[in-house]
Structure 1
Amino acid sequence: MKYIFILLILLVGTTSYSQSVFDASRSGDLENLKALYAANPTVVNSADSKGFTPLILAAYNNQTAIVSYLLENGSDVNAKDLSGNTALMGVCFKGNLAIAKMLIDNGANVNQQNFNEATALIYASTFGHTAIAEYLLKNKANTRITDNRGNTALKHAEMQGNSEIIALLKS
């Protein structure tokens, strides 16, 4: 019984501790993130119940300084959430070019597919983020990859009427 009690204390402590890294990453609390990392460097690659890592949350929430810090401290740039999405896919949905460049320049797989077989280029094309699509293409994003419905990035751009991306993908 004594050991079960100790185990429960450790688990509860770990849960709130781990939750803090997600809150810090989401909100841009760099000082808290640094303190959490100093206490336990493995927090940079922890995942919440949805599989979101601190990097995925920071990228999706446009936290440039947090993304930079996480990448400098060993965060897995290609980690996936429970849907197979990466930080790069999230930022291609949201449209932050600076973060997209950081992720790509730090080894993000530009052709990684999620569980719907979509890629970062498909997201950038769907949501009209031309500058990100250009950077993905400069870094060897494959325009021929199709999602689970058989649609390429070009087809998604056409369906959304994103004329700049259509022209880019046709050139």
Structure 2
Amino acid sequence: MNAQTVNFTPEQITALFIDAAREGDTDLLTQFLDAGMVIDTPDSRGYTALIVSTYNGHLDAARLLLARGANTESVDLKGATALSGVAFKGMTDIAQVLIDNGAQVDHANFSGRTPLMFAIMFGRTDMARLLLSAGANPDHRDGDGVSARDLAERQGVTGFFDQETGA
């Protein structure tokens, strides 16, 4: 019997791990982690398994990765965290899990934009309320000097912060 050995490069292994996260395959993620995969290993775009699993709406995969020690503050090549990705998509259930596991609500990407800003820009009012209730600062200014409060006013969502949150 002739056993064939398959050798994967570290980049290929990382790609397979990130793909498992993208698909929400908790069994395969567990196998990778049990075999010694470093949980916060980024792919070529800086995406970690946590960023990819949350962005694709895989709550069980996110919970597994967080339970195994994934860093909520890992960033992609644009400086965005997992919370930034779910904020603009409006995934409040995943956002709450990230916040409960230490995600910083005011973590700004390299352009200075916070998850609250993304929530406002994309009309995710439930997400904005969640972030505000978790302590997000509506007056943080991005690299262009614009705040989440400014964004809301520009979009005609006047009084959002005062009426909805008391902020």
What is the TM-score of this pair, normalised by structure 1? 0.86
Q: What do the CA deviations read for 1:38-73 (whole angstroms, capped 9, x no partner)?
A: 11141x210011111111111111111111111000
How do 1:1-171 residues align onto structure 2 when only pairs under 5 Å count?
A: 12-42=8-38, 44-162=39-157, 165=160, 167-168=163-164, 171=167
In the TM superposition, residue 155 of structure 1 has moved relative to its aligned partner by: 1.5
Provide structure 1 residue ranges, at least 5 long, that are not aligned to the other structure: 1-8
- 8 Å contact kept, 2:46–2:75: yes
Quote the Cα distance in structure 1 between the aligned partners of 2:133 and 2:166: 14
Q: CA RMSD in A?
A: 1.9
CA contact (8 A) 1:128 1:165 kept: no
Deviation at residue 131 of structure 1 after TM alignment? 1.7
Contiguous gaps of at least 5 residues in structure 2: 1-5
Counterpart amino acid of residue 21 in structure 1: F
CA deviations 1:108-127 (Å, max 9, x no partner) are 01111111100011111111
Aligned AA (1:63) = H
Seen in structure 2, the aligned counterparts of structure 1 residues 162 and 66 have a Cα distance that, compared at 3 Å, is: farther
CA contact (8 A) 1:51 1:82 kept: yes
What is the CA–CA distance in structure 1 between the aligned matches of 2:105 and 2:61, rounded to whole Å? 21
Q: Could you tell me how far 1:168 is from its partner in structure 2?
A: 2.9
Q: Which has the higher helix share?
A: 1
Query: Secondary structure in 1 aligned to 2:9?
Result: helix
Q: What TM-score results when the alignment is normalised by the length of structure 2? A: 0.88
How many Å apart are 1:156 and its aligned residue?
A: 1.4
Q: Cα distance, 1:169 vs. partner?
A: 6.1
| Mapped partners of 1:99, 1:164: distance in 2 | 27
Give the partner amino acid of 2:119. Answer: A
Contact 1:58/1:64 (8 A) holds in 2: yes
| Aligned-partner Cα distance in 2 for 1:101–1:92 | 10
Task: Report the residue type matching 1:133 in the other structure.
Answer: A
Deviation of 1:18 after TM superposition, in Å, equals 1.2
2:113·2:142 contact (CA, 8 Å) conserved in 1?
Answer: yes
Aligned residues: 161
